[in-house]
Amino acid sequence: AQSVTQLDSQVPVFEEAPVELRCNYSSSVSVYLFWYVQYPNQGLQLLLKYLSGSTLVESINGFEAEFNKSQTSFHLRKPSVHISDTAEYFCAVSRNTGGFKTIFGAGTRLFVKA
């Protein structure tokens, strides 16, 4: 079975500051890793994913995440945040063979202050 731990429930940060949202996972099999973003009263949207290959993956709006197999982590970072990045961010894991169910972390609420 897989599990996901998001180490921070809330992260307040000032606009234009860097941010890191932490995610650790556990799994006995190889996995895909995802970050999803949820704006208020909306569904989740895929932000970025790691399937294989390069351990650093990027999104179109400046976020990046690095897969670290030895530390079983998939932390999300952005060098300079905007007010519009205020949202809930979910780290998620699914098996990469023989299944497609996704397990979500409890979420991290990013609050960007002016």
* Member of 28, 60, 100, 114 binding other proteins (CB under 8 A): 100
* Member of 8, 11, 27, 49 binding other proteins (CB under 8 A): 49
Region of 29-37, 53-61, 69-77, 79-87 interacting with other proteins (CB under 8 A): 29-37
User: In the range 60-79, which residues lie near other proteins by CB under 8 A?
Assistant: none
* 46 closest CA partner among 54, 21, 38, 64: 38
CB of 10 to other proteins, least distance (A): 10
Residue with smaller CB distance to other proteins, 3 or 80:
3
Position 23 contacts other proteins (CB under 8 A): no
* Phi and psi at residue 53, to the nearest 5°: 80, -135
Burial class (CB in 10 A: 0-12, 13-18, 19+), 5: middle
